[in-house]
């Protein structure tokens, strides 16, 4: 009994050390691993279209058309996001004096009420910092071209090898492993496509509602706030928070009325709550349900590893992890604990 307990502890320690080493490698080799992960994500999204095209034309031509569609989608999305964020950044820079005055009033009010930390804020956090941060965000969007070129190359090569990889997996001697890989890959791809479809529809709805609301209350840059809400909604928790805070701060400088600012803040949060917490779970269904803890942890953990790209890919990675865990009895407890097990999952014998 005692030796069995020691063996279990030793196994647990080995697993823990292995997990730490794996994530350490992911962190330090992010420049190499991140494009592969994003390419696999895109292959899962594109494969049904690519497969449909291959049945009607030569494989090479089908691949060329698929990549043209992907490139067009990326260019349009990138142009819209760069336009929205760029316009807001230029407006902030042009109106920096008003924001500085508003900030100084806020600092004076806090100090007048005995909040000494306001002095520390004044030293380290000011409008200049906000402007630099906005410029850095815009710059990041404009300096990811090389990353997406590498991803593009991986996607092309991956789409060419999907059929071959499937045949090789089916031919494995260990049919238990083959079954887990095939079922896990198929179900993960289906879930990722559903996740992105639902997320895109909800992002469009959120952006449209923010645009309509900003136009109704007379907030400048209404279309730009809608674009920002649309783009940031792809990042759970963090994105909607940023899409709410920035227009609220902007409203403070424009309206100079606490009542108007509270209305803007409350209505923007109401939009995010209704779409993100009420409509989206009902549209996505139980197949994509995850523990809120896991969603939040995924966003922050992967953003720590890979920055803003990690914040976006964190939830899809967790969906894939839960789906593969559900394919085998030894790991199904993890999927049952933090997510909804897929219907009709067959135990691997």
* Closest of 327, 281, 76 to residue 182, by C-alpha: 327
Domain assignment of residue 15, yes or no: no
pLDDT at res. 32? 85
3-class DSSP assignment, residue 289: coil
**pLDDT greater at residue 125 or residue 98:** 98
Residue 236: pLDDT band (50, 70, 90) is confident
Q: CB within 8 A of 240, min separation 6: which ones?
A: 206, 229, 232, 233, 272, 276
Tokens standing for residue 102: 């508003």
How many domains are contained in the chain? 1
Cβ neighbourhood burial of 339 (10 Å; 0-12, 13-18, 19+): buried
Which of 166 and 287 is assigned the larger pLDDT? 166
Quick check: 257 pLDDT over 90?
Answer: no
Label residue 276 by pLDDT band (50, 70, 90): confident
**Lowest mean pLDDT segment, chosen from 27-36, 82-91, 220-229, 230-239:** 82-91
211: pLDDT confidence band, cut at 50, 70 and 90?
Answer: very high
pLDDT of residue 343: 47
Residue 157 domain boundaries: 34-338
Residue 28 falls within a domain, yes or no?
no
Most confident of 37-46, 70-79, 157-166: 37-46
Q: What is the pLDDT of residues 300-313, one digit of tens each?
A: 899 888 888 888 89
Cα–Cα distance for residue pair 326/347, rounded to 1 Å: 9
Q: What percent of the chain is modeled with pLDDT above 70?
A: 77
**65 located within any domain:** yes
Residue 104, pLDDT above cutoff 90: no
In a domain, 275, yes or no: yes
- pLDDT score for 347: 37
Specify burial of residue 4 (Cβ count, 10 A radius: 0-12, 13-18, 19+): exposed
* Between 107 and 130, residue with greater pLDDT: 107
Q: What is the mean pLDDT of residues 97-114?
A: 66
Q: Is residue 349 part of a domain?
A: no
Q: Please tell me the predicted confidence (pLDDT) of residue 230.
A: 93
Per-residue confidence band for 345, with pLDDT thresholds at 50, 70 and 90: very low
Give the per-residue pLDDT at 290: 78
Instruction: Output 154 or 135, whichever has higher pLDDT.
Output: 154
The per-residue pLDDT of the chain, averaged, comes to 79
Q: List the alpha helices (DSSP H) in the chain.
A: 2-28, 30-54, 59-94, 96-112, 117-124, 127-142, 145-170, 175-217, 222-232, 238-255, 258-273, 280-284, 292-306, 308-325, 332-338
Enter the pTM of the model.
0.78
Residue-level pLDDT at 346: 41
Q: Please give the pLDDT value at position 204.
A: 93
Measured CA to CA, the distance from residue 319 to residue 299 in angstroms comes to 12
- For residue 10, being part of any structural domain is answered with no
Total residues found in the chain within this entry: 349
pLDDT band per the 50, 70, 90 thresholds, residue 329 = confident
For residue 349, is pLDDT > 50?
A: no
**Structural domain includes residue 22:** no
Contacts of residue 61, defined as CB under 8 A and 6 or more positions apart, other chains included, come to: 53
């Amino acid at each position: 009994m005692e030796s069995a307990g020691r063996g279990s502890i030793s196994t647990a320690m080995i697993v823990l050390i292995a997990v730490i080493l794996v994530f350490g490698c992911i962190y330090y080799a992010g420049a190499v691993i991140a494009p592969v992960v994003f390419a696999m994500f895109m292959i899962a999204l594109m494969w049904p279209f690519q497969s449909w095209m291959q049945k009607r034309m030569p494989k090479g031509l089908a691949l060329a058309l698929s990549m043209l569609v992907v490139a067009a989608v990326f260019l349009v999305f990138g142009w819209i996001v760069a336009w929205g964020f760029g316009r807001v950044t230029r407006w902030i820079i042009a109106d920096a004096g008003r924001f500085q005055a508003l900030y100084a009033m806020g600092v004076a009010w806090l100090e007048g009420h005995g909040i000494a930390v306001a002095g520390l804020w004044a030293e380290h956090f000011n409008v200049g910092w906000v402007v630099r941060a906005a410029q850095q965000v815009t710059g990041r969007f404009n300096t990811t071209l090389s990353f997406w070129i590498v991803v593009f190359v991986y996607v092309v090569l991956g789409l060419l090898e999907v059929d071959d990889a499937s045949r090789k997996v089916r031919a494995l001697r260990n049919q238990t492993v083959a079954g887990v890989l095939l079922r896990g890959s198929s179900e993960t791809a289906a879930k990722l496509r559903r996740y992105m479809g639902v997320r895109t529809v909800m992002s469009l709805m959120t952006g449209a509602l923010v645009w309509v609301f900003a136009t109704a209350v007379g907030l400048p840059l209404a279309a730009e706030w809608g674009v920002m809400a649309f783009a940031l909604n792809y990042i759970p928790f963090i994105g909607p928070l940023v899409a709410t805070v920035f227009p609220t701060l902007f409203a403070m400088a424009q309206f100079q009325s606490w009542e108007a600012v509270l209305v803007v803040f409350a209505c923007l949060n109401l939009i995010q709550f209704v779409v993100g917490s009420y409509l989206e779970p009902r549209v996505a269904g139980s197949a994509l349900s995850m523990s809120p803890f896991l969603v939040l942890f995924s966003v922050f953990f992967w953003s720590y590893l890979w920055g803003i790209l990690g914040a976006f890919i964190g939830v899809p990675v967790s969906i894939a992890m839960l789906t593969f865990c559900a394919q085998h009895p030894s790991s199904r407890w993890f999927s049952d604990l933090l997510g909804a097990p897929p219907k009709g999952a067959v135990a691997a014998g």
